[in-house]
Amino acid sequence: MDELIGNLLVAQSGGPTAVINASIAGVIQEARQHACMSGLYGGLNGILGILKEELIDLKREKASTIKALKHTPGAALGTCRYKIDFKKKPERAAHDMDRLFQVFQAHNIRFFFYAGGNDSQDTAHKIHLEAVKRDYAMRIIGVPKTIDNDLPHTDHCPGFGSTAKYNACTTMEVAVDIGSMATDDGACGVIEVMGRSAGWIAASTILARRQPSDPPHIILLPEIPFDQQAFLDKVKSVVDTQKYCVVVVGEGLKNPDGTEFSADATRLDAFGHPILAGAGERVAELVQGKLNTKTRSIKLGYAQRCAAHYASATDVAEALACGAAAVRAAAEGRSGLMVKIVRTQSNPYLWTTGLQPLEDIANVEHMIPRNWISEDGFSPNEKFVEYARPLIEGEVKVPAEGGLPKFAVFAKRRLRCKLPPRA
Amino acid sequence: MDELIGNLLVAQSGGPTAVINASIAGVIQEARQHACMSGLYGGLNGILGILKEELIDLKREKASTIKALKHTPGAALGTCRYKIDFKKKPERAAHDMDRLFQVFQAHNIRFFFYAGGNDSQDTAHKIHLEAVKRDYAMRIIGVPKTIDNDLPHTDHCPGFGSTAKYNACTTMEVAVDIGSMATDDGACGVIEVMGRSAGWIAASTILARRQPSDPPHIILLPEIPFDQQAFLDKVKSVVDTQKYCVVVVGEGLKNPDGTEFSADATRLDAFGHPILAGAGERVAELVQGKLNTKTRSIKLGYAQRCAAHYASATDVAEALACGAAAVRAAAEGRSGLMVKIVRTQSNPYLWTTGLQPLEDIANVEHMIPRNWISEDGFSPNEKFVEYARPLIEGEVKVPAEGGLPKFAVFAKRRLRCKLPPRA
């Protein structure tokens, strides 16, 4: 292994999760154990802030702040959706890459960690290839993060377990509420959850179902083309027997022709734009309109990806471990890899971390296997339950002040800029 | 005081809250201390189930079930929205009243407790008047319950504190998420909360604001006519200085002409009905359309009234105490009253329970005083904060199984019917 000494840079990218900051805590805590990593820097707002040379000194942050990262939602370093796009904007991309390596060189960055989903791992991969090409000694490790749980090769993604836990709990709570209101007239509740192409999040609400007749009674997955008549028949049958029906809808629900169910071009808003009403609201309209059953909808939106107050303790521990494993891998001389979670057994649940080449990850989407979904398509089956159950285990205790959580806020002591401003 | 011995009947009515079952636990636990209350019965689905003679024996429920009521959302006895309406349906109402007293007499009900909001207290009041008129010895006490917090004479209503706590926490979490995503392009998040006429719920999200510049930046209350231009100016100014803006909207937001902002007759759904898009979604469309700022909306819906996993410990204790106080009042010979919460001081917070004639409660709505709202109408002020702050204090510990809460479920052992079925 080459001896490599220099500074560490960590940044976050894409939509935040309830535990993305736990991974940053893992990076920082582990890095302190490695003398080769002299400076510990954070890049603000992902790659975008690094391009602007917006770096902060993480060694000057309080120990209590680092500790509190474990229960702080949002991206404590800030995040972005910026993509270095060699295909669509090759000139801009080449320019960005030059600038990135100027920043790396100016601050002697030799260890780079990027926490994110598909796009972010793609960015990390491109930076790795570029470092090799430029013969710039730097070790790049990706840290997985996405509530969507759609990264390949890792058993699951940090962030998913907490969203699954919060959504399943919300489904249980809403279900007893609606169930207790149900009279002979019947009642229906529709809960829209995130997941544009993969249905992992919607599917995970199955964990609320302890007995076969328990809610959620129907789960509409983006993977299964939406058969409206079969759905309405099922709602009617559930309401007839149980007086109420709870439906969970993945926001990316598709029509049989592959178009998105929520995009209704026939409805325009006050400005003449087509209304993206949300799949949940449209499903609720369908039930109310066709079955005349009183129906209420809920759209959890961002609330489901930042509910640190009900995070999964398993998820927090895994997110932390992924950050730490990334640092250990880099210290051992590895590069161009993403940390993955490896399940060694389901019951009792045992896991460890592993490494996977970034080129295997970038831009590959991992969907729910069809044989993890019931034949009628309205529910994941016991294979999915066995997979998802351990990921929501364990409660966290979030420090409170005045009845509300206390979050970590970085002081963000900026490093002095060494380069001219970005062109 | 007359000596009165007989059976107790308790029932729930209207929309459930996170703590409505804590009040039932309070009734049951206190009733066991009073020998005059021989049988302890529950009416299923409020007045509607009592009319159908659907009564259960609460003495046959397990002690662990009674204990678990304190963290079980929904109405454990079932609820209804049925109204005994002497004005609109006098014949039906008279018929219902006859039937009710037949049920009371058949089961020797001498103590009746009804947990609910405005309409339910009105029902309790009518039953009290009827008992007096019929010279039927029965003591009737109302137990306050509503997340809307719009009952008069009580300092606040059990249920409100837990909704306020959950919504304020969600606002904090969503705000750090959106704030961490905000780049120079700006971002806006709109959170719709319940409250059709009173803005207590929307206003309580102010508790998420610890520093003057903290989110939520704007709170739109149903009490304040919606000035779209002033609102858009304010959003723009917040985004200009902070890069993001978090807006909370009460669902009952009104236009200056008094109509509901969410009801847009120009938009029809697939069945030709006007779309009630939800105030939050419409506000989001407005910001996106007029300011071209990326805007996402959240509609918490029922989730905010059943979030027992994040209930306020203060609220749980008060709900329990209200149930117990109702039983004590009846045991002391009182009737025709509602239990109220009396604040003796705000800081440190001290409270006790009191009693108010039901006739003072029924059909009166308690709104936020105008001088508790900022001059520009976009936020409650420090008077409101002083009022609301203590109500969200304290965290509960909900027993978990497999990472999810365990709720109480009544075994519901039915009493034998003594009357012919309801006509």
B270 pLDDT tier (thresholds 50, 70, 90): low
- Quick: pLDDT tens for A411-423: 999 999 999 999 8
- pLDDT over 80 at B55, yes or no: yes
pTM score of the predicted model: 0.96
> At A7, is the secondary structure helix, strand, or coil?
strand
Instruction: Please answer yes or no on whether A72 and B170 come within 8 Å at the CB atom.
Output: no
B363 pLDDT tier (thresholds 50, 70, 90): confident
Instruction: Please answer yes or no on whether B269 and A278 come within 8 Å at the CB atom.
Output: no
pLDDT above 70: percentage of residues in chain B = 96
Residue of A75, A177, A270 lying closest to B285 (CB–CB)? A270
In a mutational test of the A interface, the residue from B249, B404, B410 whose CB has the highest number of chain A CBs within 10 Å is B404
Instruction: Give how far B221 is from chain A: nearest CA, Å.
Output: 20
Selected catalytic residue, list B122, B148, B150, B315: B148
For residue A315 the two structure tokens come to: 């998820």
- pLDDT over 90 at B182, yes or no: no
- Quick: pLDDT tens for A213-253: 999 999 999 999 999 999 999 999 999 999 999 999 999 99
Chain A residues within 8 A of B389 when measuring between CB atoms: 402-403
Instruction: Please answer yes or no on whether A403 and B289 come within 8 Å at the CB atom.
Output: no
B268 pLDDT tier (thresholds 50, 70, 90): low
Instruction: Give how far A87 is from chain B: nearest CA, Å.
Output: 24
Instruction: Give how far B106 is from chain A: nearest CA, Å.
Output: 24
Instruction: Please answer yes or no on whether B299 and A297 come within 8 Å at the CB atom.
Output: yes
Instruction: Please answer yes or no on whether B277 and A273 come within 8 Å at the CB atom.
Output: no
Instruction: Give how far B180 is from chain A: nearest CA, Å.
Output: 4
Instruction: Give how far B420 is from chain A: nearest CA, Å.
Output: 20
Q: Which residues of A are catalytic?
A: 148
Q: What is the predicted pLDDT for the residue at A273?
A: 58
For residue A409 the two structure tokens come to: 């806020």
Q: Is cis: bond before A215, omega within 30 of 0? A: no
Please state whether B153 falls in left (phi above 0), alpha (psi between -120 and 50) or beta.
left
Residue of B271, B275, B302 lying closest to A298 (CB–CB)? B302
- pLDDT over 60 at A155, yes or no: yes
In a mutational test of the B interface, the residue from A166, A180, A393 whose CB has the highest number of chain B CBs within 10 Å is A180
The mean of the pLDDT values for chain B is 94
Instruction: Please answer yes or no on whether B174 and A407 come within 8 Å at the CB atom.
Output: no
Q: What is the mean pLDDT of residues B41-57?
A: 97
Chain A residues within 8 A of B286 when measuring between CB atoms: 270
Give CA separation, A279 vs A163, A404, B272, B377, in Å: 19, 32, 19, 33
A200 pLDDT tier (thresholds 50, 70, 90): very high
Q: What is the mean pLDDT of residues B75-102?
A: 94
Instruction: Please answer yes or no on whether A404 and B168 come within 8 Å at the CB atom.
Output: yes
Q: Minimal Cα distance from A161: which residue of B?
A: B403
Instruction: Please answer yes or no on whether B207 and A298 come within 8 Å at the CB atom.
Output: no
For residue A373 the two structure tokens come to: 């979904």
Instruction: Please answer yes or no on whether B169 and A309 come within 8 Å at the CB atom.
Output: yes
Q: Which residues contact A261 (CB under 8 A, 6 or more apart)?
A: A226, A253, A254, A255, A279, A282, A283
Q: What is the mean pLDDT of residues A127-154?
A: 97
Residue of A180, A269, A301 lying closest to B78 (CB–CB)? A180
Please state whether B170 falls in left (phi above 0), alpha (psi between -120 and 50) or beta.
alpha
Instruction: Please answer yes or no on whether B273 and A289 come within 8 Å at the CB atom.
Output: yes
Q: Minimal Cα distance from B206: which residue of A?
A: A404
Q: What is the mean pLDDT of residues A92-119?
A: 97
How many CA atoms, within 13 angstroms, populate the side-chain half-sphere of residue A19? 33
Instruction: Please answer yes or no on whether B392 and A405 come within 8 Å at the CB atom.
Output: no
Pairing of strands B337-346, B349-357: antiparallel
CA A158 to CA A144: how far, in whole Å? Answer: 7
Q: What is the predicted pLDDT for the residue at B30?
A: 98
B124 pLDDT tier (thresholds 50, 70, 90): very high
| Residues B26, B32, B36: CA angle, nearest 5 degrees | 120
Q: What is the mean pLDDT of residues A37-65?
A: 97
Task: Count contacts between A and B (CB, < 8 Å).
Answer: 203
Residue of B285, B286, B303 lying closest to A298 (CB–CB)? B303
The mean of the pLDDT values for chain A is 94
B82 pLDDT tier (thresholds 50, 70, 90): confident
Q: What is the predicted pLDDT for the residue at B13?
A: 95
Q: What is the predicted pLDDT for the residue at A61?
A: 98
Chain B residues within 8 A of A178 when measuring between CB atoms: 74, 302
Our answer to whether residue B119 is catalytic in this structure is no
Q: Minimal Cα distance from B188: which residue of A?
A: A302
Chain A residues within 8 A of B405 when measuring between CB atoms: 169, 172-173
Instruction: Give how far A392 is from chain B: nearest CA, Å.
Output: 5
Instruction: Please answer yes or no on whether B207 and A176 come within 8 Å at the CB atom.
Output: no
B274 pLDDT tier (thresholds 50, 70, 90): low
Q: What is the predicted pLDDT for the residue at B2?
A: 56
B86 pLDDT tier (thresholds 50, 70, 90): confident
Instruction: Give how far A124 is from chain B: nearest CA, Å.
Output: 19
- pLDDT over 80 at B62, yes or no: yes
User: Which residue, A36, A19, A37, A116, is CA-closest to A73?
Assistant: A19
Spell out a b/e string for A4-37, using b for 16 or more CB atoms within 10 Å of the CB, else e: bebbbbbbbbbbbbbbbbbbbbbbbbbbeebeeb
Chain A residues within 8 A of B281 when measuring between CB atoms: 277-278, 281
In a mutational test of the B interface, the residue from A20, A50, A181, A248 whose CB has the highest number of chain B CBs within 10 Å is A181
How many CA atoms, within 13 angstroms, populate the side-chain half-sphere of residue B48? 17
Instruction: Please answer yes or no on whether B300 and A300 come within 8 Å at the CB atom.
Output: yes
User: Which residue, A287, A249, A177, is CA-closest to B303?
Assistant: A177
Instruction: Please answer yes or no on whether A297 and B300 come within 8 Å at the CB atom.
Output: no
Chain A residues within 8 A of B396 when measuring between CB atoms: none
Q: What is the predicted pLDDT for the residue at A267?
A: 56
Instruction: Give how far A38 is from chain B: nearest CA, Å.
Output: 27
Residue of A45, A298, A404 lying closest to B172 (CB–CB)? A404
- pLDDT over 60 at A274, yes or no: no
Q: Which residues contact A11 (CB under 8 A, 6 or more apart)?
A: A42, A43, A44, A46, A47, A49, A50, A77, A113, A114, A115
Check if the beta carbon of residue B366 is closer than 8 Å to that of residue B151: yes
Chain B residues within 8 A of A278 when measuring between CB atoms: 281
Q: What is the predicted pLDDT for the residue at B277?
A: 66
- Quick: pLDDT tens for A307-331: 999 999 999 999 999 999 999 999 9
Q: Which residue has the higher pLDDT, B183 or A6?
A: A6
CA A268 to CA A265: how far, in whole Å? Answer: 7
Check if the beta carbon of residue A146 is closer than 8 Å to that of residue A157: yes
DSSP assignment letter at A251: T
- pLDDT over 90 at A182, yes or no: no
- pLDDT over 80 at B77, yes or no: yes
Q: What is the mean pLDDT of residues B304-311?
A: 98
